[in-house]
Amino acid sequence: MSLPARVATLLVGFLAVAALAVFVVVHYFLASPQTVDFTAGVTPDTGASVNVVMQEDPQNTVSTHPDWVSYFIQNPTTKQWEHTTIFKVPAGSVVNMTILGYDGCTPLRNPVFGKVSGTIGGVAYVDGKPVTQLNSWSACNVGHTFSIPGINLNVPMATPNLNEANFLCGTSPCTSGPVRKVTFSFHTPKTAGTYFWQCRVPCGGGFVTGFGGPMQTIGFMTGNMEVVS
């Protein structure tokens, strides 16, 4: 093989390895679900309100893990449901949260997280009715929770009735099927930063303690609230 040919082969091989390395880093290590932005047109630290709409589904048919439960966030501009659990809100504002609960019930491991905390007025509304706590052990009425430990926020998500359990939505993002509408409001911190949120129901079926899989994967049952000032 001539010298130019050998040099060219070496160069091609090097570029191929480098391209593979870049692909792995970008595709696997730096990959993150998109962030849904709720800051447009809102001035931070003015107490202005933003409306965040989410849904929790019994499955996720738009991902490579169709049997994992998952949250979705509605894009405020396009109204499309985004498969992500990261959203951005202004500091010092009020978030009016609406979560559509399409999933069925699973008891909380620790029933203390059936108590609503950290919301304005210490209350959440299930289909318009105020609730301050849900007992997931006496009645199978909690599917998930929406909890941000950094601001002591915890809201149990009510579920469709037991007689509706066999008719749960089967395609994500859900647009039909039995659903409970949970609404509540909370103040965002005045300090900018990233606050993780999680579900406290061990709904990662098939994983140790029910807290693997979707429970520890951003984009499914946990994510970040990015507060910007």
Partner 1 sequence: MAASAAEPRGSAEPTGRNHGLWIFAIWLPLAVIVDVLLYFVYGPHMPPGTMSDSAASQQFDIKVMSVLAAPVMVFVLVYAIYSFVVWRHREGDDEDGPAIYGHARIQATWITVTAVIVLFLAGFGSYELAWPGFAGAGAGQGPSPVWKPTDGTPVQVQVIGNQWRFTYRYPQFGGFETTALYIPVGVPVQFNVTSLDVIHDFWAYQLGVKADANPGVNNVAYTTAKHVGTFTVRCDELCGLWHGAMTNQGQVVSVADFQAWAQQTETQLASVTAMLPPYATAYDPTVVPQMSKAMVKGGLLGGNGYYYPPNDPSQP
> Smallest distance, Å, CB 125 to partner 1?
18
Q: What is the dihedral of CA 183, 220, 167, 62, to 10 degrees?
A: 120
- Distance CA(53)–CA(173), nearest Å, equals 13
Which of helix, strand or coil describes residue 101? strand
Which residue, 90 or 202, is less far from partner 1 as judged by CB?
202
The CA-based angle 19-20-21, given to 5 degrees, is 90
Write down the least CB distance from residue 35 to partner 1, Å. Answer: 18
| Minimum distance from residue 137 beta carbon to partner 1 (Å) | 5
By C-beta, is 125 or 195 nearer to partner 1?
Answer: 195
Sequence-separated (6 or more) residues with CB below 8 Å from residue 48: 42, 90, 93, 94
Structure tokens at 14: 């090097």
For partner 1, the closer of residues 62 and 218 by Cβ is 218
Binding residues (CB under 8 A) for partner 1: these are: 104-107, 109-115, 117, 132-133, 135-140, 149-150, 152, 162, 165, 196, 198, 200, 202, 205-211, 215-218, 222
- The least distance separating partner 1 from the CB of residue 153, rounded to whole angstroms, comes to 11
Cβ–Cβ < 8 Å for 155, 182: yes
Name the residue nearer to partner 1 (CB basis): 2 or 209: 209
Closest to 217 (Cα-Cα) out of 57, 85, 81, 30: 85
CB of 16 to partner 1, least distance (A): 34
Q: Which is nearer to partner 1, 71 or 211 (CB)?
A: 211
